[in-house]
């Protein structure tokens, strides 16, 4: 009797502990966001005070005005969008085509091709950056969005993930389509692509976020202020604002906002894309 | 498999039979990706090794001087290189175990029967969608010595809180904490998926047998989630070993060179010093380390599995 009672009690204590730990951690996780937003809205006279203001005593939008007037942040957002969107379209299109070919079509040499692509997973992006820079220079692509789009479209992860999915697609579906007189191209875009919508949604969002967030490579190949992406731009902004945390956080918030809204709406797909990597990798 | 029905493919070349049509289509569908892959991934890999054997002249590559392995020899005898290796290893040690353990703890917590699972998942995962610049700028403000929020609270506990990012001792741990906040969400969602695919009946059976929750964790949870844990550990190692942005933005490698990581060293050698051949050699070193880790991990996983 008493053992059952103490067991119930200890379970209760434990579940209270779990709640406290989880929600405590969640509160800590939100601190940097809160700091960013409140600093971006706090007037200058309170910014450098010792005591942090989680809710600003007065609200000002002057840092946002300063950033929008002082830096081409809208242009950077547009550049980033063009690069991320083009890369996403290329990755989904080219990766699904080759994955379809590798899993559903038979041709000599495809085993070797697949092995090389899988092995290339091990090539760290940054180990390649010096030779890649000379190649981009030779093509005359410095300062061109293609300097980011093309190398990031060549990454093998999408090919790998799509082949996992296409493998699960029964061959009988393809066979039936062939008997109905479908050409290879028709099978690809009328049958395979529609059946693969969830995988495409997941990979699209993942590629978009991944490319949008790149820092080092765009820093190297996009050298003119008008060509910057948001991640590069907001960092270069730092010295020009004579160290005003408010302006810096306003710029940061503007840079976060578009992608964060997309994330909140479509997070299921992004979580799926990450989880796919864990289960197939 | 498709060789049987010759009628379904109409070939423009008339006499070509189906096997050839399938070969042709197969190659046509593979070609666009393979073109990009060859030019922007395979070719740089080969060219990088070639460049690493030269005193590379960035302005007139044809005039580069062939020096065989001299770049590698120079790298191994450069104290700044070893310093950057050391800084990188410190960062790896500070981040990888914490990221895996914290990711697992959060996953197991959220997997329990708690209210607000979805909100918790969103909160823990959300920093992962931020760019490194945003993460670094926010945390640099939080760490600011005079007015930063962290030192306001730390000041209650200790007299003179360190000025984190200017401290030889604390700069790297400070960068590591920001990184953990930023990327633990990746591990968390993968381990959460792995935990959710462990059959619940295993735990029910253990409960009937009177096993403690520690036993259940040790004998069911960990073995069942083994491949996911190994995957997450390897990926984190590979990422942490290539750390750049956080250190570049928050400390610019300082104070001294205490947070100058290997990729930052490579970046500086190439794009500040213009020593492309030497930087390519450093890149190859990075490449070999990470290949060794991936392969070691691969044999570890495939050797240990009973299946």
**Could B189 and A102 be called an inter-chain contact, meaning their C-beta atoms sit closer than 8 Å?**
no
Whether pLDDT at B73 is above 90: yes
Q: Which residues of B touch A117 (CB under 8 A)?
A: 37
Sign of CA dihedral A17, A20, A26, A27: negative
Query: Which is nearest to B225 in space by CA: B202, B251, B253?
Result: B202
Q: Quickly tell me which residue has 């010295």 as its tokens.
A: A239
Q: Are A61 and A41 in contact (CB under 8 A)?
A: yes
Q: Calculate mean pLDDT across residues B290-302.
A: 79
Question: CA-CA distances (angstroms) from residue A235 to A34, A217, B162?
Answer: 20, 14, 25
Q: Which residues of A touch B291 (CB under 8 A)?
A: 122
B34 vs A120: CA distance, rounded Å? 12
* Disruptive mutation site among A76, A124, A130, A149 for chain B (greatest number of B CBs within 10 Å): A130
Q: A94 to chain B nearest CA, in Å?
A: 5
ipTM above 0.95, yes or no: no
* Disruptive mutation site among B41, B92, B216 for chain A (greatest number of A CBs within 10 Å): B41
Q: Which residues of B touch A126 (CB under 8 A)?
A: 242, 244, 263, 266, 283, 286
pLDDT at residue B133, as a whole number: 94
Q: Which residues of B touch A67 (CB under 8 A)?
A: none
A273 vs B115: CA distance, rounded Å? 25
For B33-60, the pLDDT digits (tens) are 999 999 999 999 999 999 999 999 888 8
A76 vs A226: CA distance, rounded Å? 7
A128 vs B267: CA distance, rounded Å? 11
Least confident of A220-229, B7-16, B123-132: B7-16
Q: Which residue of B has its CA nearest to A33?
A: B138
Spans of chain A below 70 pLDDT: 1-5, 7, 238-243, 279-281
**Could B137 and A133 be called an inter-chain contact, meaning their C-beta atoms sit closer than 8 Å?**
no
Query: Which tokens go with A43?
Result: 């007037």
Q: What is the number of other CB atoms lying within 10 angstroms of the CB of residue A227?
A: 21
**Could A128 and B276 be called an inter-chain contact, meaning their C-beta atoms sit closer than 8 Å?**
no
- Residue A187 in contact with partner chain B when CB distance is under 8 A: no
Please state whether beta strands B65-66 and B54-55 pair in parallel, antiparallel, or not at all (unpaired): antiparallel
pLDDT at residue B15, as a whole number: 42
Question: CA-CA distances (angstroms) from residue B214 to A13, A176, B164, B253?
Answer: 16, 53, 37, 42
**Could B190 and A213 be called an inter-chain contact, meaning their C-beta atoms sit closer than 8 Å?**
no
* Disruptive mutation site among A81, A131, A155 for chain B (greatest number of B CBs within 10 Å): A131
Question: CA-CA distances (angstroms) from residue B58 to B39, B66, B78, B144, B274?
Answer: 20, 14, 22, 40, 7
B270 vs B241: CA distance, rounded Å? 19
Q: Which of A30, A51, A231 sits opposite B131 (nearest CB)?
A: A231
pLDDT at residue B8, as a whole number: 39
Q: Calculate mean pLDDT across residues B278-282.
A: 95
Count chain A–chain B contacts defined by CB atoms under 8 A: 295
Q: Calculate mean pLDDT across residues B187-205.
A: 91
Query: Which is nearest to B190 in space by CA: A278, A270, A263?
Result: A278
B292 vs B175: CA distance, rounded Å? 26
Give this prediction's pTM: 0.89
pLDDT at residue B269, as a whole number: 94
Q: Residue B55: what are its φ and ψ, rounded to 5°? A: -85, 85
Query: Which tokens go with B118?
Result: 């979805």
Q: Distance from CA of residue A15 to its chain's centroid?
A: 35
pLDDT at residue B19, as a whole number: 61
Q: Which residues of A touch B161 (CB under 8 A)?
A: none
């Amino acid at each position: 009797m008493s053992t059952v009672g103490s067991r119930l009690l200890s379970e209760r204590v434990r579940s209270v502990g779990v709640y406290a730990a989880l929600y405590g951690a969640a509160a800590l996780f939100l601190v940097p966001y809160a700091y960013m937003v409140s600093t971006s809205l706090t007037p200058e006279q309170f910014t450098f005070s010792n005591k942090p203001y989680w809710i600003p005593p007065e609200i000002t939008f002057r840092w946002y005005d300063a950033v929008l007037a002082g830096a081409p942040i809208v242009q950077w957002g547009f550049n980033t969008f063009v690069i991320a969107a083009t890369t996403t379209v290329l990755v989904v299109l080219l990766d699904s085509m080759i994955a379809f070919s590798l899993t559903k079509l038979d041709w000599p040499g495809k085993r070797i091709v697949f092995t090389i692509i899988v092995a290339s997973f091990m090539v760290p992006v940054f180990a390649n950056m010096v030779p890649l820079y000379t190649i981009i220079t030779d093509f005359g692509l410095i300062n061109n969005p293609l300097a980011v789009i093309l190398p990031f479209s060549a990454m093998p992860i999408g090919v790998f993930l799509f082949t996992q999915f296409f493998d699960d697609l029964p061959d009988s579906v393809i066979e039936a389509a062939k008997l109905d007189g479908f050409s290879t191209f028709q099978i690809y875009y009328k049958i395979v692509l529609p059946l693969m919508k969830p995988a495409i949604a997941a990979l699209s969002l993942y590629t978009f976020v991944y490319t949008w967030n790149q820092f080092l490579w765009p820093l190297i190949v996009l050298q003119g202020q008008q060509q910057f992406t948001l991640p590069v731009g907001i960092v270069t902004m730092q010295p020009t604002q004579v160290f005003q945390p408010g302006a810096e956080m306003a710029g940061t918030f503007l840079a976060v906002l578009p992608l964060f809204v997309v994330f909140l709406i479509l997070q299921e797909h992004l979580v799926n894309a990450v989880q796919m990597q864990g289960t197939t990798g | 498999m498709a060789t049987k029905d010759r009628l379904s493919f109409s070939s423009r070349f008339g006499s070509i039979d189906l096997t050839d049509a399938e070969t042709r289509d197969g190659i046509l569908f593979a070609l666009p990706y393979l073109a990009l892959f060859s030019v922007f991934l395979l070719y740089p890999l080969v060219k990088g090794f070639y460049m690493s054997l030269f005193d590379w002249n960035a302005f007139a590559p044809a005039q580069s001087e062939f020096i065989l392995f001299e770049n590698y020899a120079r790298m191994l005898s450069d104290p700044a290189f070893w310093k950057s290796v050391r800084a990188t290893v410190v960062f790896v040690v500070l981040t990888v175990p914490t990221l895996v353990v914290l990711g697992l703890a959060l996953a197991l917590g959220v997997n329990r029967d708690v209210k607000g699972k979805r909100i918790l998942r969103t909160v823990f995962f959300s920093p992962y969608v931020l760019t490194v610049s945003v993460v670094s700028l926010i945390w640099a403000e939080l760490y600011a010595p005079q007015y930063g929020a962290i030192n306001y609270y730390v000041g209650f506990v200790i007299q003179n809180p360190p000025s984190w990012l200017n401290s030889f001792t604390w700069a790297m741990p400070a960068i590591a904490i920001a990184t953990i906040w930023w990327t633990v969400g990746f591990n968390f969602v993968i381990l959460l998926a792995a935990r959710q695919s462990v059959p619940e009946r295993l735990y029910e059976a253990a409960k009937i047998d009177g096993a403690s929750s520690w036993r259940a964790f040790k004998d069911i949870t960990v073995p069942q989630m083994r491949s996911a844990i190994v995957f997450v550990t390897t990926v984190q190692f590979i990422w942490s070993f290539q750390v750049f942005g956080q250190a570049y933005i928050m400390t610019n490698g300082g104070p001294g060179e205490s947070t100058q990581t290997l990729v930052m060293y490579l970046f500086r050698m190439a794009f500040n010093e213009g020593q492309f051949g030497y930087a390519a050699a450093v890149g190859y070193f990075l490449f070999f380390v990470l290949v060794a880790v991936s392969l070691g991990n691969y044999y570890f996983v495939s050797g240990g599995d009973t299946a």
